[in-house]
Amino acid sequence: MGTGPVHRNKPLLHVSSEGSFVASLADDCVQTGLRMGLGEYFERILPEKAWYERAKEPWLSQSTYRRIKRMVDLTISAALLILILPVLALCGLAIKLDSPGPIWFTQWRTGKGGRRFRMYKLRTMVSNAEEMKAQYMHLNELSYPDFKITNDPRITLVGRFLRKTSLDELPQLFNVLKGEMSLVGPRPTSFSATSYSLWHTARLAVKPGLTGLWQVSGRSELDFDDRLRLDIAYMRNRCLSLDVAVLFRTFGSVLNGRGAN
């Protein structure tokens, strides 16, 4: 066993020549920790815990949590729909004046257990947008089965404003009332569960949401696999306090337009 280099004012560390650098680094860390306080030091060097991770187990059982969550969904969605009816009427008028076609856009989405349901949105694209999708497939910026184009030519002038402000998502409150969606949960995909890899199907264990972790962590900037990891993190940590935190952060994401497309 050799002896590493001796440092002035530092204890002699008996390590191999290969380990001398590691030992010296460890000694420097200890000295730094003593100067600034070990608690503060370890807070700086250890990876920061994600804000959505639970510090302790929730005091509500999962069955009680689900019942309360449903009551909250019904109460908030019903109250919001009453308040936003004039907003929806103005949006509908703007859509009609901007481009020919229906006000509403409905699309089959995949929900809990892989069940398909019709999700409601305000129309933000030209009426034949789905038929034009194949024409622009070569410009897709995300991996299959996602589809996204920056400055998508199919989006109308009013549609860009509706997407930037997320007003186009408001009709999904009807889906929440019907029990097909929740206020918070994994966002429902437009492609069926048969397109999922096996590990993707984990997200189908809970009801999809109007907003979720990925909505406040990058929104459309995230690829499908990254969103899946956030969905699974939500499922692992879900509780009422997390749902409330996601809702508040959603307002912030909408106000700054982060990731909206």
Query: Over 233-246, what HEC string results?
Result: HHHHHCCHHHHHHH
Structure tokens at 142: 């995300």
Report DSSP state, residue 64.
H
Residue 2, in any domain of the structure: yes
pLDDT, residue 13, reads 39
Q: How wide is the angle at C-alpha 98 spanned by C-alphas 93 and 104, nearest 5°?
A: 55
Mean of pLDDT over the chain: 81
Residue 230, in any domain of the structure: yes
Residue 261, in any domain of the structure: no
Residue 53, in any domain of the structure: no
152 and 195 in a common domain: yes
104 and 18 in a common domain: no
Residue 196, in any domain of the structure: yes
67 and 40 in a common domain: no
Average pLDDT score over residue span 10-21: 44
Structure tokens at 161: 């404003």
223 and 137 in a common domain: yes
Q: From CA 185, how far away is CA 215, in angstroms rounded?
A: 10
Q: How far apart are the first and last CA of the chain?
A: 62
244 and 216 in a common domain: yes
Q: From CA 211, how far away is CA 219, in angstroms rounded?
A: 10
Domain count for the chain: 2
170 and 195 in a common domain: yes
Q: Which of 41-55, 75-89, 112-126 is least confident?
A: 41-55
Which tens digit of pLDDT belongs to each residue from 121-144? 999 999 888 788 778 877 776 766
Domain range for 207: 62-256
143 and 72 in a common domain: yes
Partner residues linked to 155 by β-bridges = 125
